[in-house]
A and B are shown apart, each in its own frame.
Chain A
């Protein structure tokens, strides 16, 4: 009985009118935790009730504390009929369980109803008193810190990195239970929200247990996903990297430059030198037996793949025991200096599965086995690349009806074993690679695999920086660009987009069709990426994310990455066009013009991205078209429902990679699409990694946004080309829209651009005859990212050395940009004058603070001032940091799931209006929770899921959103005192 949860309901405001007669509300509150419920008094006839309740005390197990959310329900008291619900607030109390995080939750929360949205706000106070529990066999894992941030959090240092943790929990989806037919949509939505909240709490607890077993105290790069498998159930799964973190004392005050954790000296003794480790017995063959599911109070259970293998140990007993990490995977994407030794390339695996009903939620083994299989593949791919670890690892699914594509990808790499827990990595005896320390600026580019025994045909050259080691000619990775990497010029967003039609089918046939298509899609996406990379005269991709989503009659592929020119790698060759039919004069002429256009584009891009690597004289650079075959850094495979693993060699057979042959219309289309990518407007930069390579001066102006678009394909008989065109246009238009909307923020950089595509379920059409002809598909894409004003006023005193080489022409522009920024207010003032009279007032009110003497304001309802004191500004960013600020405290993980439904779609402004409101509501709830924890920002924010289902005929729509991130307190870099409420703007 190790915990006491205390909650106090203070007040409400802006409540909706529940009693039409009096235009008022008789509100009271129910506070529920587990099976215990408390009620406040009814506050009669008020839209701004003051309950000021006593402290409601719940005495609970810490296991429950981790799993359950505190449920606050606001109701309208009705003497004669049933009380009407106004709305609910779910408060995740997990952050209170960790001594280093928040100590109290206190603040205004939006009261949320799944049908009506936000209806007023409620002020709640929550505290937890934890008792020490020395029970070694406990089921809870209080105290383990979770971070969505996929790097070592800024105010911690990593003592030890333990490795991969995963967990998976399944349950029946309440939406598909029989009871759903008789209960209201509200009840059904709430059941679902609650269940998912419970499941993610449980998941987190179980992962925490694993971390404790490994001797760690934190999970970084925590990635939790939901698979709504429909009829067959609901899966919540998570992966992360277990670590032992030490909090840096606040006195040492790390700034962004020294944020990288310092590794303790003491750990070298424990992890030892890289002496021959016990080489892992091929773990894949000796899969541990599934543990018997533990007795569990709820109808869901975990899938412990390795829990039974290891003895449970206390938190602090770190002994090199025989626990061998099964998968040397790391969800981190940024690393401390020296951590990453070499990078091999991207490894990915996909598998198509048929979903079957999960008959017994206590046995999630099938799902677990599926992932197990994929992870084994990834691991073997990594090995093939001569690497012992996979970094930047992530997993995802795409579900359509009963077909599910499971995907996993990461970057094969060699890590410095000094930082690893023993046994974490499978390091061979013959590790010559550590003997010779490589310079940090190019070391990670050096090939990890054996030159004579390459996993694929590749063209190797000596590193252009150190000239000692071999490097490949291109490098694809899923991680962020290492901070110490030497880069020439700027980076840019590179996308490959692809649509493939497939026949409508059911079951096994459908799955086979999809898995047959997958290799071709991967191949084409890869070719597109390669060509676009060459076109931009770059030689490496970072943050590569390939998403393949499945729909009823098509597959969509979207690959996004940030292209850069790594100084260590050889300059990329050009692209040459060749015709199949020599002798045809007109054709040859055509080819020549295209060739010219391509060459022009390359030259233009070189200028745009300021890529002008130092000429190398002593080395023959060779012809622009390399003679060797193209080799690929990508290693993939597909497997169907069967366990067969087919490897795909992505090299173009006998053909030369960089020669595009125009042998049919397809190829012409391809080249056209290659050239029609609109350039980013001046002043804009975009990338999908955390920081923009080549830009180093950031301001603190951050704006995060989410955009969702759905396009309905009208034409039933579309070709692949037609679809591709539409899809490409969709993506391009979206980007153009952003540039337009954010034009006032120029110069700005769109970072962590995160595109997701989906083909929502085809709608069921009632009239039978229409079934074949009326095919309506939707393409939805959604992205979110912050943008940074990168010309900060400090660029004036910025050391010119830092942005030395390739920046002659642009530096001039920079000055003026900065100028423009600082005079922003001035401009605004001018504009305001010219547009309309009355707007001049904008300025005067800016300086105004609370204008009335106190005596007067007491009689009035609110005494708001313009100082923004009443509502804390909370910034949100998908980055792991906020430019210009210093994170001084992590308050805990934010992981929220919301359902919104409407039966008056038209009245709410159609789907757009509905979704717009919902996203705004989700943002506001995230902000409220962060503010209640005492934070002023969310870092590593991401919207994992945004599923929209609509039925305009019935005037209905439903949407599910899952968001996550880390709540933090940050202060401006110049500030010394932590002043969260004022440091924000």
Chain B
């Protein structure tokens, strides 16, 4: 029985979370009905396909009407058209802004432009996300980006406030915005093993250490851009590799500290200069926008890959980096401790996570490592 007109409106807007998810996932009404039928709703409540279709249509219509409001979530709270209990509003917003990790991984670090939008069907096909859902997610990224781009103050809080997202989701969006703004390269084959959450972690580190807002918590500061002054200062670190004495001194300090704590001491000793040069060179080049973009690929090529070839475990890497970092403080002639710390905090944790993931992806990591890695939050 097909109706010419069929509407159902409640004073308190009635929404089914399951249908909402289907709608968000970009299912057509008919596909959604099929999914629901397979899900067994019909047996549960003795409904017919007609009833299911009519219900799905109603819900889809409601969601479409709500979508405009979801674009600026703060409006949802004081609009008068729909009476939705606050916790339902929060659910609607949260789910609307939730994205597929597979999808976001594809666009991470890309410019959120029309050009990228055109490739969405390819990305959709690759990740198995419907085009409709891809568009929604992409538009969400773009919308959040546009709003917070020019805003002052902490990035996460800005997102949290303007889009009323949960803390976790706001952090993820901060990572997306930050990556898009600085155009970090994440698509290279060598970086393929990294998930969005890995990058999100690194982004969190970068935001809290390398941006202007990181040093002085002034409200006027911007979290989206890297601190230019700091990048300039990084050039000073070159002394660590250029000054022969300093380099040797550093090396011996690290080796002394490492003695007896690892099985790979020999490899570490032989590779020290090479690795140190790699890390310091990365730092020194960061004034170049191009090199900023390649930060992650550089870290992999200059540090992780050499370690891999020497079969360092993640514990080794962590140990090495800790002492590599700490020993610098013992160098009396080295004057740039603050800059060094700021640089190394990010590099250390980033390399750790990058290395752990590589271990995992190649199935080499031991049980303990896995446990540790879970702390990065999946």
Interface status of B333 (Cβ within 8 A of chain A): no
User: Looking at the complex, which one of B3, B82, B85 makes contact with A920 (CB distance below 8 Å)?
Assistant: B82
- The smallest C-beta distance from B143 to any residue of chain A, in angstroms, reads 15
Report B65-80 CB contacts with A as 1/0, cut-off 8 Å. Answer: 1000000001101111
The yes or no answer to B315 lying at the interface (CB within 8 A) is no
Partner of B11, one of A707, A831, A851, A923: A923
Whether the Cβ atoms of B86 and A911 lie closer than 8 Å is no
Cβ-defined contact, B11 with A876, below 8 A: yes
- B237: Cβ under 8 A from any A Cβ: no
Residues of chain A from 812 to 834 with CB closer than 8 A to chain B in the complex: 828, 831-832
Q: Given contacts A864-B74, A911-B4, is CB(A919)–CB(B80) below 8 Å?
A: no
Taking a contact as CB atoms under 8 Å apart, the answer to whether A852 and B157 are in contact is yes
Query: A912 and B157 in contact (CB under 8 A), knowing A704-B11, A705-B11?
Result: no
Contacting B1 at CB < 8 Å: which of A14, A730, A839, A876? A730
Q: CB distance B77 to A121 under 8 Å?
A: no
Do the beta carbons of A912 and B6 come within 8 Å of each other? Answer: yes
Q: Count chain A CB atoms within 10 A of each CB in B10, B50, B219 and give the residue with the most.
A: B10
Q: Known: A835-B17, A856-B219. Contact between A707 and B7, CB under 8 A?
A: yes
Stretch in A67-75, A237-245, A709-717 with 4+ CB within 8 Å of B: A709-717
**Which of A707, A730, A839, A863 interacts with B95 by CB under 8 Å?**
A839
Bound Cα distance from A831 to B21, whole angstroms? 12
0/1 string, B1-43, CB within 8 A of A gives 1: 1011111111111101110010000000000000000000000
**The residue from A844, A852, A925 contacting B161, defined by CB atoms under 8 A apart:** A852
- Contact across chains for B11 and A875 when beta carbons are under 8 A apart: yes
Q: How would you classify the secondary structure of chain A's contact residues: helix, strand, loop or mixed?
A: mixed
CB-defined contacts of B65 to chain A, threshold 8 Å = 916-917, 920
* B45 at the binding interface (Cβ < 8 Å): yes
Decide if B51 touches A736 in the complex (CB within 8 Å): yes
Determine whether the beta carbon of B79 is less than 8 Å from that of A841.
Answer: no
Question: In the complex, which residues of chain A have a beta carbon less than 8 angstroms from the beta carbon of B17?
Answer: 828, 831-832, 835, 839
B168 interface hit (Cβ, 8 Å): yes
Note all chain A residues with C-beta closer than 8 A to B78.
13, 108, 862, 864, 870-871
In chain A, positions 724-738 with a C-beta closer than 8 Å to chain B are 726, 729-730, 733, 736-737
**In the bound complex, CA of A90 to CA of B91 (Å):** 34
B253 to chain A, nearest CB (A): 44
Q: Check B4 against A868 for contact (C-beta < 8 Å).
A: no
How far does the alpha carbon of A920 sit from the alpha carbon of B15 in the complex, in Å? 14
Q: Which residues of B, 92-150, contact A by the 8 Å Cβ criterion? A: 94-95, 98
Determine whether the beta carbon of B51 is less than 8 Å from that of A841. no
Within the complex, the shortest CB–CB distance from B96 to chain A, in Å, comes to 11
Are B3 and A711 in contact (CB-based, < 8 A)? yes
Q: What B residues does A739 contact at CB under 8 A?
A: 45-47
B9 in contact with A866 (CB, 8 Å): no
Residue B64 is within 8 A (CB to CB) of chain A in the complex: yes
Asked if B308 is an interface residue, CB under 8 A from chain A, the answer is no
Known interface pairs A736-B48, A866-B86, A916-B61. Does A712 touch B1 (Cβ–Cβ under 8 Å)? no
How does the 8 Å CB contact mask read for B259-288 relative to A, with 1 for contact and 0 for none? 000000000000000000000000000000
Contact segment of B52-60, B173-181, B367-375: B52-60
Query: Is there contact, CB below 8 Å, between B94 and A740?
Result: no
A870 near B77 (CB under 8 angstroms)? Answer: yes
| Cα–Cα, bound, A915→B160 (Å) | 35
Tell me whether B9 and A927 are in contact (CB under 8 A). no
Any A CB within 8 A of the CB of B218? no
As a 0/1 sequence over residues 732 to 770 of chain A, the CB contacts with chain B under 8 angstroms (1 = contact) are: 010011011111100000000000000000000000000
Q: Does A913 contact B (CB under 8 A)?
A: yes
Chain A interface residue count, CB cutoff 8 Å, equals: 84
CA distance A709 to B78 in the complex (A): 31
Centre residue among B18, B77, B160, B168 by max chain A CB count within 10 A: B77
On chain B, the residues within 8 Å of A836 by CB distance are 21, 95, 98
Selected from B61, B80, B166, the residue in CB contact (under 8 A) with A845 is B166
- Name the CB-closest residue of A to B81: A924
Tell whether A311 is near chain B: CB-to-CB under 8 Å. no
Q: Which chain A residues lie closer than 8 Å to B169 at the CB level? A: 838, 841
Task: Verify B94–A838 contact, CB threshold 8 A.
Answer: yes
B164 beta carbon closer than 8 Å to chain A: yes
> Is the Cβ of A912 less than 8 Å from the Cβ of B80?
no
B335 to chain A, nearest CB (A): 37
- Tell me which residues across on chain B come within 8 A of A912, comparing CB atoms: 5-7, 57, 61
The verdict on B293 contacting chain A, using a C-beta distance below 8 Å, is no
Determine the residue in chain A with the shortest Cβ distance to B65.
A917
Residue of chain A at shortest CB distance from B92: A842
Contacts of A273 in B (CB 8 A): none
Residue of B nearest to A849 (CB): B86
Q: Indicate if the CB atoms of A920 and B81 lie closer than 8 Å.
A: yes
Q: B160-213: which have CB < 8 Å to A?
A: 160-162, 164, 166-169
In the complex, whether A873 has a CB less than 8 A from a CB of chain B is yes
The residue of chain B having its C-beta at the shortest distance from the C-beta of A845 within the complex is B90
A712 in contact with B4 given A704-B11, A868-B86 (CB within 8 Å):
yes
B82 touches A681 (CB 8 A): no
**Distance (whole angstroms) from the CB of B151 to the closest CB of chain A:** 8
Separation of A831 and B87 alpha carbons in the complex (Å): 15
Contact partners of B12 in chain A: CB under 8 A: 703
A20 at the interface (CB under 8 A from B): no
Nearest CB on A from B266, distance (A): 44
In the complex, the answer to whether B50 meets A733 with C-beta atoms within 8 Å is yes
Residues of A within 8 A of B6 (CB): 708-710, 912
Q: Is B83 an interface residue (CB 8 A)?
A: yes
Cα separation A102 to B230 with both chains bound (whole Å): 63
Partner of B166, one of A841, A861, A867: A841
Interface string of A837-865 (1 = CB under 8 A from B): 11101101110100110011101111111
Indicate which residue in A110, A710, A839 contacts B80 across the interface (CB closer than 8 Å): A110
Cα–Cα distance between A176 and B95 once the two chains are bound (Å):
49
A706 sits at the interface (CB 8 A): yes
A733 contact from B1, B4, B57, B87, Cβ within 8 A: B1
Give a binary string over A644-660; 1 marks a CB under 8 Å from any B CB, 0 the rest.
00000000000000000
Does A607 make an interface contact (CB < 8 A)?
A: no
| Interface residue from B5, B14, B52, B75 paired with A709 (Cβ < 8 Å) | B5
Chain B residue with the shortest CB-CB distance to A860:
B161
Partner pick for B9 among A864, A920, A948, CB 8 A cutoff: A920
Interface digits, A777-816 against B, CB 8 Å rule (1 contact, 0 not)?
0101000000000000000000000000000000000000
Q: Contact at B4–A845, with CB atoms within 8 Å?
A: no
| A806, chain B: closest CB distance, angstroms | 25
* B229 close to A (CB within 8 Å): no
Residue of B nearest to A846 (CB): B87
Interface pair A841/B168, CB less than 8 Å apart: yes
Q: Determine if A118 is an interface residue (Cβ-Cβ < 8 Å).
A: yes
Which of A726, A860, A874, A927 lies in contact with B162, CB distance below 8 A? A860
Q: Is B326 an interface residue (CB 8 A)?
A: no
Report the Cα distance A844→B91, complex, angstroms.
10
Q: Which residue of B lies closest to A873 (CB)?
A: B83
Q: Please, which residues of chain A bring their CB within 8 A of the CB of B21? A: 835-836, 839
Q: How far is the CA of A733 from the CA of B48 in the complex (A)?
A: 9
Roughly how many angstroms separate A705 CA and B52 CA in the complex, as a whole number? 18
Chain B positions near chain A (C-beta within 8 angstroms) = 1, 3-14, 16-18, 21, 44-48, 50-52, 54-55, 57-58, 61-62, 64-65, 74-75, 77-83, 85-87, 89-91, 94-95, 98, 152-153, 157, 160-162, 164, 166-169, 219
Given contacts A707-B7, A707-B9, A838-B169, 17 further A-B contacts (CB under 8 A): A704-B10, A709-B6, A837-B98, A838-B94, A839-B21, A839-B95, A844-B167, A846-B90, A862-B75, A862-B77, A868-B86, A871-B79, A874-B83, A915-B5, A923-B11, A927-B80, A985-B85
16 sample A-B contacts, Cβ–Cβ < 8 Å, listed by A number: A712-B4, A736-B48, A831-B17, A838-B98, A842-B90, A844-B167, A845-B91, A846-B86, A846-B87, A851-B161, A860-B162, A862-B77, A871-B77, A925-B80, A927-B11, A985-B85
7 smallest CB-CB distances across A and B, nearest first, come from: A845-B90, A710-B5, A838-B98, A864-B77, A705-B10, A841-B166, A862-B74
